[in-house]
Amino acid sequence: MLETLGYKSLVNRYKNQIFSYALYMVKNRMDAEDVSQEVLIRLWKNMGKFKLPAVGSWIMRTTHNLCIDYLRRDQTMKQRSIFIDEDFEDRIIDGNKLNQPEVTTLQSITIEKIKTAIQKLPENLKSVFVLYEIEGFKYKEISDVLDMPLNSVKVYILRARKKLQEELKGYAE
């Protein structure tokens, strides 16, 4: 009974983080949903096997590993991601806003374009960037989740920011 309650609260606490991370990594909603579901099932099966303070790291590590598995398994991922990206932009771009004179070219980059640009980052940079900037993890936590030296985490975040800047410049031009 207590375990079920604990599980429910963990699901509520982490479901969006899991889905969000998965969506950035696998780049399509269907696979992101599958990954999220699998993570939450594994969480249920492993309830009581890990200490509560480490649960966040455990969840994100599992999510990351599953995303990598999905990416490796899916041979057609590249084609699908292109399709999804197009879909993403069609849904998101606010045409009216772009016509407003006060909105500069740079400002016309919508949040969704940034999301798309993040999705285009290489996997190793993207995982670190999303965990740090979107999910709000600390350097140390990311180092634990991705089993990566602390310095590498810092370097990857810096590289990801530069890469993202270049990517967004492409949108602005």
Q: Does 107 bind other proteins (CB under 8 A)?
A: yes
Contact 57, 145 (CB under 8 A): yes
Residue 154: what residue type? K
Q: Exposure string (b/e) for 147-169, b if CB count within 10 Å is 16 or more?
A: ebeeeebeebbebbeebbeebbe
- Region of 26-34, 67-75, 92-100, 120-128 interacting with other proteins (CB under 8 A): 26-34
How wide is the angle at C-alpha 66 spanned by C-alphas 126 and 42, nearest 5°? 135
Task: Report the C-alpha gap between 18 and 5 in whole angstroms.
Answer: 19
Pattern of binders to other proteins over 131-170, x per CB under 8 A?
--xxx----------------------x--xx-xx--xx-
Residues of span 40-59 touching other proteins by CB under 8 A: 40-41, 44-45, 47
Residues at the interface with other proteins (CB under 8 A): 3, 7, 11, 15-20, 23, 29, 32-33, 36-37, 40-41, 44-45, 47, 106-107, 109, 111, 114-115, 118, 133-135, 158, 161-162, 164-165, 168-169
